[in-house]
Amino acid sequence: MQLQDKVAVVTGAAGGIGAAVAQALVDAGAHVVVSDVDEARVVATAERLGAVAVAGDASSDEAIAAMITAAEQAHGPVDLFFANAGIGDGLGLSATDAQWQAALDVNLLAHVRAARQLVPGWVERGTGYFVSTASAAGLLTQIGSATYSVSKHGAVAFAEWLAVTYGDDGIGVSCLCPMGVDTDLLRSGMTSGDDAEGRVAAAAVTGAGEVLAPSDVADQVLAAVTEGRFLITPHEDVREFLRRKVDDHDRWIGGMQRYQRHLRESTR
């Protein structure tokens, strides 16, 4: 997928990875629509980039349709969709049903709903590209947050399914699985609150490896899209951790249990 003059939609783009991806797309010559629930910030991002802003919930069918319509009216049919919006509310078994539903809606079902609206047209055209922002938590797990871990596992699985099912129809799929990135979600979303579970969840992310700048992640995302590469792991350790998990699942769980004990002791 070459990016010059392509039309792209990026969700969760008021800041963080989404805004950085939008910036990289504009720099590459693409026409961009940015969306976020935070209207003031996403409008400011759009004005800075020369993009089109659409405020709305990335998990809403109506909001997704509005993004697509705005792109078509401004630039033409959507070529690329970056399902980047994400939330991390809910820690452990104390997470409520509402928190579970919100995580599943934003982190997983938003991707499904966007694909429903875009993929049939892409198949007719013989081209299109879907980028899922999942997480290393979707390949491994997230100590502390069950809602985040489970919904991100689902995002990885759905991206894999899309790639397998529609690859022969000219549809490209990439799945982004970073560890810590310097975003609002890392700073305050998943780790909000002063309880022990929140402190452990925060330490699990920041202690697992380098916390990367969103711009560095965005560069790797666009490189993968240009190359047509599925799995994007900005943190090199993720692939090694995944290999260990596959090689010996029980040993890997034992190691994660030890790591969790260490985190609990160090964050008291």
pLDDT of residue 264: 83
Q: Are 7 and 76 in contact (CB under 8 A)?
A: yes
Of 259 and 17, which is predicted with more confidence?
17
pLDDT of residue 128: 98
Q: Is the dihedral of CA 44, 45, 48, 54 positive or negative?
A: negative
pLDDT of residue 191: 46
* Per-residue model confidence as pLDDT tens digits over 98-140: 999 999 999 999 999 999 999 999 999 999 999 999 999 999 9
> In angstroms, rounded to a whole number, what is the distance separating the alpha carbons of residues 26 and 50?
8
Residues that are catalytic: 148
Q: What is the mean pLDDT of the chain?
A: 92
pLDDT of residue 206: 64
pLDDT of residue 210: 80
* Per-residue model confidence as pLDDT tens digits over 148-172: 999 999 999 999 999 999 999 999 9
Q: Please state which architecture CATH assigns to domain 7-239.
A: 3-Layer(aba) Sandwich (3.40)
Strand ranges in 114-255 using DSSP code E only, listed in sequence order: 128-133, 171-176, 231-232
Confidence band, pLDDT 50/70/90 cuts, at residue 144: confident
pLDDT of residue 156: 98
* Per-residue model confidence as pLDDT tens digits over 202-258: 666 666 678 899 999 999 999 999 999 999 999 989 999 999 999 999 999 999 999
* Per-residue model confidence as pLDDT tens digits over 33-77: 999 999 999 999 999 999 999 999 999 999 999 999 999 999 999
pLDDT of residue 203: 67
The letter for the amino acid at 158 is F
Of 238, 118, 128, 113, nearest to 176 (Cα)?
238
Q: What is the mean pLDDT of residues 6-29?
A: 97
> In angstroms, rounded to a whole number, what is the distance separating the alpha carbons of residues 6 and 22?
12
* Per-residue model confidence as pLDDT tens digits over 166-200: 999 999 999 999 998 887 766 554 444 456 666 66
